[in-house]
Amino acid sequence: MQHRLDSFYFTFRLSNHAELKNTLLKQIDESEQTENNKPKADDYYSESITKLDWSWSKDFSRPWTQTLKPFLEKDISNEMSSHGYKESYIQDLWFQQYTTGDTHGWHIHGHTFTGVYYLDLPKGAPNTQIVNPTNQQEIIVPDVGEGDVLMFPSYVIHRAPIIKTNVNKTIISFNSTVNLITAPVLEKLR
């Protein structure tokens, strides 16, 4: 698992994906706080998302976030600790459900790290594409599968390509930040 400046993204598996998947999908189905983001005539860039709850991304009382957040935080914390960070925080957490024809155009996020947890990624659903920040001519498709978490710096341009087959895709997206250096790294620097 690398995370250097020339290998700017990293992936890990959500430890409890198998036991959480059905509960999370059910809670998302039953969620009352949802919206859609279908194209409008004056849209600046392509975006068509059947169901999402971005507008409530800072509300961690939503049932599905209460189910997922403790597990996701723990795994992110372990991952960030391996990169020398003592603390990590989730600042925004929301789902996006894509059906045939849906897409989320090229964009970046705020805060420090962008994360994507692939909750439901059936065969035929396209993976996230990201632009290499050190070589912008290169578009990378990280090798991720259902149950994986992909993270990269929030200034990295990325998109969810259009779904061309008859499948649905559900991802959990999050913004996060890191803080403070771990004792082993500090010791190494002395």
Q: Which residues bind another protein (CB under 8 A)?
A: 3-5, 44-45, 83-85, 89, 91, 105-108, 110-113, 131, 133-134, 136, 153-155, 157, 177-181, 185-186, 188-189
Sole residue written with tokens 């008859």: 166
Q: Please state, in angstroms and rounded to a whole number, the distance separating the CA atoms of residues 27 and 168.
A: 16
Q: Which amino acid is at 188?
A: K
Q: To the nearest whole angstrom, how small is the minimum distance from the Cβ of residue 184 to another protein?
A: 9
Q: Please state, in angstroms and rounded to a whole number, the distance separating the CA atoms of residues 56 and 14.
A: 23
Assign 50 to helix, strand or coil.
strand
Pick between residue 84 and residue 142 the one whose CB is nearest to another protein. Answer: 84
Pick between residue 123 and residue 190 the one whose CB is nearest to another protein. Answer: 190
Q: To the nearest whole angstrom, how small is the minimum distance from the Cβ of residue 107 to another protein?
A: 6
Query: What secondary structure letter does DSSP report for 163?
Result: P
Q: To the nearest whole angstrom, how small is the minimum distance from the Cβ of residue 183 to another protein?
A: 12
Assign 38 to helix, strand or coil.
coil
Q: To the nearest whole angstrom, how small is the minimum distance from the Cβ of residue 189 to another protein?
A: 6
Pick between residue 24 and residue 116 the one whose CB is nearest to another protein. Answer: 116
Structure tokens at 51: 């169901």
Pick between residue 79 and residue 146 the one whose CB is nearest to another protein. Answer: 79
Residue 20 CB neighbours (<10 A)? 20
